[in-house]
Amino acid sequence: MSLTVPEGYHPLHARSVPAYLASQSQLEGRLGGGEADWRVQEVSDGNVNQVFLVHGPAGSVCVKQSLPYVRLVGESWPLTLERIHFEHQALLEHGRHARGRVPQVLHHDARQYVLVLECLTPHIILRKGMTAGVRYPRFAEQMADYLARTLFFSSDLALSAEEKRRKVAAFSTNTAMCRIMEDMVFTEPYQVHPRNRWTSPQLDALAADVRGDMPLKLAASRLKYQYLTRTEALIHGDLHTGSIMVTPEDTRVIDQEFAFYGPMAFDVGALLANLLINYFSQEGHTTEAAPREPYQDWVLETMETLWSRFQARFLALWEEHGRGDAYPTALFTTEAERRGLTEERQRWLQRLLGESLSFAGVKMLRRIFGLAHNLDLDSIEDPHRRAACERACVELARSLLLDTGRFHTLTDVTAAARALGERAPRRRV
Amino acid sequence: MSLTVPEGYHPLHARSVPAYLASQSQLEGRLGGGEADWRVQEVSDGNVNQVFLVHGPAGSVCVKQSLPYVRLVGESWPLTLERIHFEHQALLEHGRHARGRVPQVLHHDARQYVLVLECLTPHIILRKGMTAGVRYPRFAEQMADYLARTLFFSSDLALSAEEKRRKVAAFSTNTAMCRIMEDMVFTEPYQVHPRNRWTSPQLDALAADVRGDMPLKLAASRLKYQYLTRTEALIHGDLHTGSIMVTPEDTRVIDQEFAFYGPMAFDVGALLANLLINYFSQEGHTTEAAPREPYQDWVLETMETLWSRFQARFLALWEEHGRGDAYPTALFTTEAERRGLTEERQRWLQRLLGESLSFAGVKMLRRIFGLAHNLDLDSIEDPHRRAACERACVELARSLLLDTGRFHTLTDVTAAARALGERAPRRRV
C-alpha cells in the first residue's frame, strides 16, 4: 500500500472546510448565514480519520474525511481511503434498522472521501463520561435496542439468503479495516511487536506471561478464525465506548468504518469488554472525597441490564420478524414445535453470550498490551495504581478466555468482576 | 426470475454444436478433421445444465452450457445463466490446488454461457460404477488429496485475509445455486412440499415422522445456519458420487456450479453421505449369484481410508503451508507451543469430522424424501426392497443428526452402518 491518492482528492484543513461546505448547497441552509459565519473546530480524536465540527448561526454539521493513512500514527501507516464508503453504507443500513441511534447522513462525497453528518449536540463520548463517573440511565436500554435491531435485521434470521449474500459481497472488500482488527486484536498482543505498549515496568512480567501463554494464544486464534469465517450480521466492528456518544437521554453509535459481515459476538463482546475496563479503571479514579464504588455498581448493573434487555429484544424481534431463510418458521407450525423453536432461540442466545464473553476477553487484553489503549485506564496517572487496575482486567480477561465453563450468565461475569475488584488493594488519595 | 436471456444468447442443440466449435479455432486441432467429421453425443445426465460430448478424429471435448432453467424440470423452474461462470472460476481455482483432479478448461464463452472442457475418457460417473459394484482402488486416496488440497488452499489457513475476503466477495453472488441447496437440503424434506417424493406407500409413515420430528428439524436448521453464515473455504457445494468421474486409476471432480465460500464440512459430509447411501443400497442389488457383501465391506473401508487419509493430508498441508492469517504460526514458536498448535489442529479436524457427519445426515435424508434421488437406490426396482434400504439410511441419518455424541471416529460410523445393514432382513433373488 502506498500514499498515492486518486486524482482530484484533497485532504481538507480547518481553513478549507467552509469553502468545501459552501460548495454543497444543500448544507448551507442547515448552517445558516454564509461561509464567513462558520466556525470550524477540529475534533479528530478517533484514531483513524480527520473530523471537523462546523458551527453556523442556524446549526452545526460534522465533516469526516478519510486520510490515506492512520491519523493517529501518520503517513508511515498507509490506509485505503475507501473506509469512508463502508462507513456510509453501514450508517445507512444501521440507521434504517435502529432509527435515531446513529447520526443522520447529510452528504456523501465519493471523490473527496467525505461524509457530512448530523452534529451530535450536546453529546459527549461515552468513555469520557464514564471515566468522569457520569451515569447514563437510558444507555443500557437504548444500546440493547440498537444491538438487537442492527444485528437481527442484517442477519439470515430476518433476510432472504439472496439479500444477505449480496450484502456480504458488498462488505467483504472492507479488508483494510478488518486487517487492523486481525492484527491488533487477535495477534500482536500475543507476540513481541513494535506497536505494542503497556504500563512498564509494572506489567512487563505479565506481558511476557501473556505472550508465553499457549492456551490463551490458542483461544485468541480460535476467535480470530471466527472473525475470519463467520458472516452472521453487518456488525459495527469496533463497538467500544469511544464509538458511542451520549447525553443522559440519548445514545448514538458513531465511527462505522470497521463495519463488515462478521460474528455478532464481536460487537456484543467489544461493548462488554469496554464496560468491564471502565469498571476496573474506577479503582484508579476513586478518592476519599468522591469514592467511585457506587459508580462501579452502576457499571455492573448497566452490563446486566444491557444483556438482559438485548436478549429479550432480540428474541422478540426474532419472534415477530423471523422471516429470513435461517430457522424457517414454516417447519415449526404446531404448538409444540413453536415452543421447541422458542427454546432453540434461547439456546442460540446462550451460545451468543458465550462467544461474546470470549471476544470480550481478547478485546480487554488488547487494550492493556496492544497499541490502542483506553482513556479509562490511561488517565490514571500513577502507574502503580493504573497497573493494579490493569492486572484485574487481565485476570478477568484470561478467565473469560480460558474458564469458559464458569460463565453461564452475565451475572456470573459481574460477580467475578466484583470479586476481583474487592480483592485488589484499595488506595484512597 | 423469468426466462428472459441476454441478447445474443442461443441455447446449443446437438446439431448446432459442431458449427459452434468450428468457430473457436483453438479447439479444432484438439478434435482433428473438420466440422463434418465430428460426432455429437448428448449426455445431459446432471440435473441442471446441458452437456454434449463431441468426438473428432484426433480427440474429444465436452461442451457444457447453462440453460435459463433447471434442465431436469424444465422452463417452469427458471435459473440464472451465471452459474457457468462460477463453475469456470471454481474449476480454475480447484484445478490450481488439486492439479489433475478436475477436468481441464479448454474454452469459456461468457456470452453463450458455455464451457468447453477436456473430455474424460474412459471415465464413468462414480455412482454408476458403485451401483454396479465396481471397485475403485485409488479413489479414497485421490479424493482425500483433492478434498484436503481444495479446502485447505482456499481457506484462511493458507491465504491472507485480504485474498480470502476478495474470493468470498466473488462467490457470494452465486445465490441462485445456493438457494437450491438451502431449500432442497435443509428445508423441503422436513415439510409438505410439491417437489418432494419418496417410495410410496412404503415410506409414507416415515416421511410423516420426519416432517413431525422437531429435534431433527432443529438440527437441520442449525446446519442451514452454518451453510448461510460460514465462509471457511471455496467448496464444491454438491460433492456427491454423481459429481465424480472415475476409472480404476483416476478420479475427477466435475459440476462445480454450486461452488461458493461455505463450510468445509458441507463437502466432506456430502461425500460421506453418498457413500453411506451406496452402502445401504447394496442390499437391494445383492443376488445369490453375485452377493454384494464383499462390496459393502469395500465401501465402508473406502470411507475409513478416505477420512484417515484426508485428515493426515490436511494436517500435513497445514504444517507445511499454514501461512494464512488464521492460527498464525508466529505465535507458536517454542517447541512446546508448536506441539500445542499441532494438538489444536487435531482438535480442529475432530470438529470438522463432527460437523461433516451432521451434514451427512441431512444429505442422506434429502435423497430419500426430497426431489433429487440417487441411482443407487432408485435403480432397486422392487419398492419393498428399496424401502428397506432407505429405512436403514434414514435410521443412520437420524443418529448422525441427533446422537452426535455417539460418533467420535469414522469407525464409529461404519460400525453403526454395518450393524444396521446386518439387522435388515436379507433378501436373495
Hunting for cell 479414497 — which residue is that? B140
Calculate the average pLDDT of chain B: 95
The residue type of A176 is A
- Is the Cβ–Cβ distance between A67 and A112 less than 8 Å? no
Residue A52 contacts residue A45 (beta carbons within 8 Å): no
Question: Looking at domain A124-423, which of 3.30.2230.10, 3.90.1200.10, 2.40.50.140, 3.40.50.1000 is its CATH number?
Answer: 3.90.1200.10
Asked if B26 is an interface residue toward chain A (Cβ–Cβ < 8 A), one would say no
Q: What is the pLDDT of residue B70?
A: 86
Q: Are the C-beta atoms of A413 and A400 separated by less than 8 Å?
A: yes
Whether A229 and B156 lie within 8 Å, measured CB to CB = yes
Q: Do A229 and B231 touch (CB under 8 A)?
A: yes
Q: Where in chain A is the domain with CATH 3.90.1200.10?
A: 124-423
B70, B48 Cβ separation under 8 angstroms: yes
DSSP B137: T
* pLDDT per residue as tens digits for the range B167-210: 999 999 999 999 999 999 999 999 999 999 999 999 999 999 99
- pLDDT band for B262, please (50, 70, 90 cuts): very high
Residues of B in contact with A318 (CB under 8 A): none
Read off the pLDDT band of B22 (50, 70, 90). Answer: very high
A216 touches chain B (CB under 8 A): no
pLDDT at residue B56 is higher than 90: yes
Nearest CB partner across the interface for B221, out of A178, A217, A327: A327
Cα(B231)–Cα(A165) distance, integer angstroms: 11
Residue B197 CB burial class (10 angstroms; 0-12, 13-18, ≥19): middle
> d(Cα A185, Cα A360) in Å, to the nearest integer?
11
pLDDT (average), residues A19-35: 90
B344 CB within 8 Å of a chain A CB: yes
A230: which DSSP letter?
Answer: B
Q: How close B322 comes to chain A (CA, Å)?
A: 13
pLDDT at residue B46 is higher than 70:
no
Q: Does B221 touch chain A (CB under 8 A)?
A: yes
Q: Diameter of chain A by CA atoms?
A: 69
**What's the rounded mean pLDDT across residues B95-109?**
97
pLDDT in tens, A50-79: 999 999 999 999 999 999 998 878 888 899
Residue of B nearest to A334 (CA): B212
- At residue A49 the predicted structure's pLDDT band, cuts being 50, 70 and 90, is confident
Of residues B428 and B270, more confidence is placed in B270
> Are the Cβ atoms of B172 and A166 closer than 8 angstroms?
yes
The grid coordinates listed for B193 are: 412440499
Instruction: Using pLDDT thresholds of 50, 70 and 90, give the confidence band for residue A1.
Output: very low
If pLDDT is split at 50, 70 and 90, which confidence band does B28 have? confident
- Using an 8 Å Cβ cutoff, are B117 and B103 in contact? yes
Cα–Cα nearest to B156, from A304, A182, A313, A311: A182
Q: Given this model, what pLDDT does residue A426 score?
A: 59
pLDDT at B348 over 70: yes
Q: How confident is the model at residue B1 (pLDDT cuts 50, 70, 90)?
A: very low
The answer to whether B240 and B271 are in contact (CB under 8 A) is yes
- Indicate the pLDDT class of residue B45, thresholds 50, 70 and 90: confident
Which residue in chain A has the smallest CA separation from B210?
Answer: A331
Cβ within 8 Å of residue A302, ≥6 positions away: A136, A139, A140, A275
Is B172 in CB contact (< 8 Å) with chain A? yes
| A42 three-state secondary structure | strand
Instruction: Please indicate if any CB of chain B lies within 8 Å of the CB of A175.
Output: yes
Per CB-CB distance under 8 Å, the chain B contacts of A230 are: 229-231
Question: Which CATH number describes the domain made up of B17-118?
Answer: 3.30.200.20
A vs B, Cβ pairs < 8 A, gives 128
Task: Tell me if chain B has a CB within 8 Å of the CB of A221.
Answer: yes
Residues B162-178: tens digit of each pLDDT: 999 999 999 999 999 99
Residue range(s) occupied by CATH 3.30.200.20 in chain A: 17-118
Q: Cβ contact (<8 Å) for A224 and B182?
A: no
| Dihedral sign of CA atoms A247, A252, A258, A263 in order | positive
Are the Cβ atoms of B166 and A179 closer than 8 angstroms?
Answer: no
Give the residue among B261, B267, B79 at the shortest CA–CA distance from B170.
B261
DSSP 8-state symbol, B133: T
% residues pLDDT > 70 (chain B): 97
Distances (CA, A) of A279 to A60, A269, A271, A294: 34, 15, 12, 11
Residues of B (314-343) whose Cβ lies below 8 Å from A: 325-328, 330-332, 336-337, 340-341
Asked if A224 is an interface residue toward chain B (Cβ–Cβ < 8 A), one would say yes
User: What's the CA gap between A5 and A236, in Å, rounded?
Assistant: 26
**What's the grid cell of residue A266?**
464481536
Q: How many alpha carbons lie under 13 Å from residue B115 in its C-beta half-sphere? A: 28
Question: Contact A89/A174 with Cβ under 8 angstroms?
Answer: no
pLDDT in tens, B78-88: 999 999 999 99
Read off the DSSP letter of residue B62: E
Q: Do A332 and B172 touch (CB under 8 A)?
A: no
Spatial distance between the Cα atoms of A281 and A295, rounded to a whole number of angstroms:
11
CB-neighbour burial class of residue B251 (10 A; exposed 0-12, middle 13-18, buried 19+):
buried
Instruction: Dump pLDDT digits (tens) for A95-152.
Output: 999 999 999 999 999 999 999 999 999 999 999 999 999 999 999 999 999 999 999 9
Angle, vertex CA B239, rays to CA B233 and CA B242, nearest 5: 160
- Strand A114-118 to B114-118 pairing: unpaired
